[in-house]
Amino acid sequence: MRLLSTKATCNSHGQDSSYFLGWQEYEKNPYDEVLNPKGIIQMGLAENQLSFDLLESWLEKNPDVAGFKSEGKSIFRELALFQDYHGLPSFKKALVDFMAEIRGNKVTFDPNHIVLTAGSTSANETLMFCLAEKGEAFLLPTPYYPGFDRDLKWRTGVEIVPIQCTSSNNFQVTEPALQQAYQDAKKRNLRVKGVMVTNPSNPLGTTMSRSELNLLIDFIKDKDMHLISDEIYSGTVYNSPGFVSVMEILKDRNDLNVWDKVHVVYSLSKDLGLPGFRVGAIYSENDAVVAAATKMSSFGLVSSQTQYLLAAMLGDKKFTKNYISENQKRLKRRQRNLVSGLQKAGISTLKTNNAGLFCWVDMRHLLHSNTFEAEMDLWKKILYEVRLNISPGSSCHCTEPGWFRMCFANMSEDTLNIAMKRLKTFVEAESNDNGCDKKRVQSSGNSSRRKSLSNWVFRLSSRDHREQEER
């Protein structure tokens, strides 16, 4: 008799992706300026540590809030006792106001239509449970965040069908790519329930254009399906063009036929740099989705103490205005530092990079062949020899070998400079070892790329994996 369930023993979690394997190696040998200066520098973690001093300064000026006091009196008992899963009204109001402020107050959000969740991971999974059945599918543009294979699929049984985007147009979504993904799903006998995008994109670090967003809305309207816009990086846009939320497009179109089919995911993990607080949210104008998601949120609530503290912080408009502006300035400076360091090593980044906590880095010229196996070889050298943990494009389901995601906001400027020096030394050594005669590898077609995928690079469902092997 089997003691564990199929879910507990299955392979579909995605933990054996190179994205997570790099983290494991880092944890075995983490860099420390004093204790372990030759350790691995973590550049695979999209965490914003650049503006913690602003948060800490606010807490110092508001000790009663941090001490769970109101007007000098303790409210610890009130916060510690049971709270229902609808959340504190004061926090929900402060959160939707903050979301609107990040979007330049061009749109507003109704606090009655927001559902609080334990981070965006919980929010995305909850939406999958609400919108799709096991064996149905969502279309996602590539490259996409590796954790989605876990967040969207593992417990829900929902399938991901890639919308194949390429560097030829800076990985923008096109109508032919959308239609091809839809046809690919039909060939697999999958019913497509919607499209999901990250805007700004993880891992590209780019914002979606108005034309892309209108294309997506036209597509879901024509197919009668849903659109999920994961906008957890909306406050990290530091260069033009600015961020355009799907909610702004809906407002401009004023099309009541699609309002209840578009859902926004948000979180304070990236914009406010508080991933440990586990604060996420679903915003939807669909009453049935809000009601169902609210019931499901009981499996991943945000603590009342966290809500109370953040309601006060986000309700301080002078603080939020200064934080948003200063944080974006710091991100812009740090991104420039990374790009400059990469350029000195002869490495370029995606030119449209204007948001996020990372850059999409082009190392195709460092591959010994145009295959994902060559990408894995390069990744292993960078991980074990250069001792930098970066995320290979294949872990993000990129269709072109040689792209990598590099994070820049989770470390000090000194650490970033050390990382760039290490990488420059490596590239120079590689060039010397190969007689400085490497040429940029050109694309050789999807079929050869797909055949070169190593089994352990990233795990899709067993069905996905069989299809890859057959190509």
Residue 451 domain flag:
no
pLDDT tens by residue, 7-61 = 777 766 666 777 778 889 999 999 999 999 999 999 999 999 999 999 999 999 9
Which of these is catalytic: 232, 324, 390, 418? 232
Tokens standing for residue 433: 């070892």
**Residue range of the domain that includes 382:** 10-52+328-431
Same domain, 284 and 263: yes
DSSP 120-160: HHHHHHHHHHHH--TT-EEEEESS--TTHHHHTTTTT--EE
Report how far residue 337's alpha carbon sits from residue 407's, in angstroms, rounded to the nearest whole number: 12
Tell me if residue 359 falls in helix, strand or coil.
Answer: strand
Active site residue 163: no
Q: Are residues 238 and 349 in the same domain?
A: no
Higher pLDDT, 2 or 362: 362
- Residue 438 confidence (pLDDT): 44
- 218 belongs to the catalytic site: no
Q: What are the contacts of 180-189 at 24+ separation with CB within 8 A?
A: 181/139, 182/139, 182/223, 185/137, 185/139, 185/159, 185/161, 188/137, 188/159, 188/161, 188/463, 188/467
Q: Is residue 470 part of a domain?
A: no
Both 245 and 102 in a single domain?
A: yes
Helices and strands, number each (H, E), in the chain: 18, 15
**C-alpha closest to that of 138 among 41, 75, 263, 228:** 228
Report whether pLDDT(466) > 80: no
- What percentage of the chain carries pLDDT values higher than 90? 75
The reply to whether 458 falls in a domain is no
Asked which of 266, 293, 320 is the last residue of a domain, the reply is 320
- Residues written for the chain: 471
Give the Cβ contact number of residue 181 at 10 Å: 22
Q: Is 270 a catalytic residue?
A: yes
| From 19, 26, 144, 145, active-site residue | 145
186 falls within a domain: yes
Residue 15 domain-assigned? yes
Question: What's the pLDDT score for residue 1?
Answer: 63
Token output for 120: 């965006």
Tens of pLDDT, residues 56-92: 999 999 999 888 888 888 888 888 887 777 899 999 9
Question: Which CATH number do you get for residue 68?
Answer: 3.40.640.10
Query: Which residues are CB-contacts of 386 (< 8 A; sequence separation ≥ 6)?
Result: 422, 423, 425, 426
Do 267 and 136 belong together in one domain?
yes
**Which residue among 320, 346, 380 closes a domain?**
320
Q: Are residues 315 and 335 in the same domain?
A: no
Q: What is the mean pLDDT of the chain?
A: 89
Choose the catalytic residue: 114, 270, 347, 382: 270
Among 71, 106, 56, 46, residue whose Cα is nearest residue 331? 46
Q: Give the count of beta carbons closer than 10 Å to the beta carbon of residue 339.
A: 18
Q: Is residue 370 part of a domain?
A: yes
pLDDT recorded at residue 471 = 33
Do both 39 and 149 map to the same domain? no
Structure tokens that stand for 386 in this block: 């250069």
**Domain check: are 199 and 242 in the same one?**
yes
Q: What is the pLDDT of residues 175-204, one digit of tens each?
A: 999 999 999 999 999 999 999 999 999 999
Catalytic site includes residue 283: no
For 154, residues 6+ apart whose C-beta sits below 8 A from its C-beta are 12, 13, 14
344 in a structural domain: yes
Catalytic residue among 151, 230, 271, 464: 230
**Same-domain check for residues 259 and 132:** yes
Confidence band of 215 (pLDDT split at 50, 70, 90): very high
Q: Does one domain contain both 315 and 333?
A: no
| Whole-number Å distance between alpha carbons of 95 and 111 | 8
**Residue 39 domain-assigned?**
yes
Average pLDDT of span 450-454: 36
Residue 455: pLDDT band by 50, 70, 90 thresholds? very low
How many angstroms separate the CA atoms of 227 and 397, rounded? Answer: 20
Same domain membership, residue 237 and residue 381: no
262-301 tens-digit pLDDT: 999 999 999 999 998 899 999 999 999 999 999 999 888 8
This prediction's pTM: 0.88
Query: Residue 401 maps to which CATH number?
Result: 3.90.1150.10
Same domain, 300 and 334: no
> Which residues are CB-neighbours of 131 under 8 A, at least 6 positions away?
193, 194, 226, 228, 263, 289
Can you tell me the distance from the alpha carbon of 198 to that of 232, in angstroms, rounded to the nearest whole number?
8
- The answer to whether residues 68 and 305 touch, using CB atoms and an 8 Å cutoff, is yes
Angle between helices 304-314 and 89-102 in degrees, nearest 10: 50
Strand segments, DSSP code E, in 88-225 are 114-117, 137-141, 159-163, 192-198
Q: Does 303 lie in the same domain as 282?
A: yes
Final residue in a domain of this structure, among 254, 288, 320:
320
Tokens of 354: 């204007």
Overall domain count for the chain: 2
